[in-house]
Amino acid sequence: MIKSFWLFVILLGLWLLMSGHYSVLITSLGVVSCAFCVYLARRAKLIDNEGLPLFFFPRLINYILWLFKEIFNSNVGTGKAIITGNISPEIFIVKSSQNTDVARVTYANSITLTPGTVTTKINKNEFEVHALNSSFGDDVRRNLMDRKVKWLEGNN
């Protein structure tokens, strides 16, 4: 029941942010729409740790700020690699230490979000990663992002 409440709060907050219209009628329709979505999610049994990973929220802001910094730094590095012609692609395997599927997917997506690297295959606890050159590959192999997602998951 608590997850249903938080799903409603998150949906309504997003709806209010994106709507931009705050008349009584429009806001009432938004509340009814969000409540109906929560009702449907409960009926379909979609409200679980993967569908609504509440355990991520306490540390999520810190992780997102760190990820934005990494994305910016990778953008600069990718630009330098392209301008200098320092491109020698490589494909390698990296281990994942996360315990939940949602954390593994977060790790794989975080690798892909940083320019210069792409997760091409997920095989349980191993990811195949394509890197623009060896320096991008070394960044992934250092496992800093793996440790950050493990921390995000709540496992130190």
Residue 114 domain flag: yes
Tens of pLDDT, residue by residue over 78-104, are 999 999 998 999 999 999 999 888 889
140, 79: one domain:
yes
Q: What domain range includes position 39?
A: 2-43
Same domain, 106 and 132: yes
Q: Quick one: 89 and 123 in the same domain?
A: yes
Query: What percentage of residues in the chain have a pLDDT greater than 70?
Result: 96
Q: What is the pLDDT of residue 61?
A: 87
pLDDT, position 90: 93
Q: Do 21 and 88 lie in a common domain?
A: no
In which element (H, E) is residue 120 found? strand 117-123
Looking at residue 93, its amino acid is: I
Number of domains in the chain: 2
Same domain, residue pair 134 and 69: yes
**CA 127, CA 120: separation in Å to the nearest integer?**
7
Question: Does a structural domain hold residue 76?
Answer: yes
DSSP 71-116: HHHHHHHHHHHHHHT----EEEEEE---SSHHHHHHHHHHHHHSTT
- pLDDT tens digits, residue range 32-53? 999 999 999 889 888 876 666 7
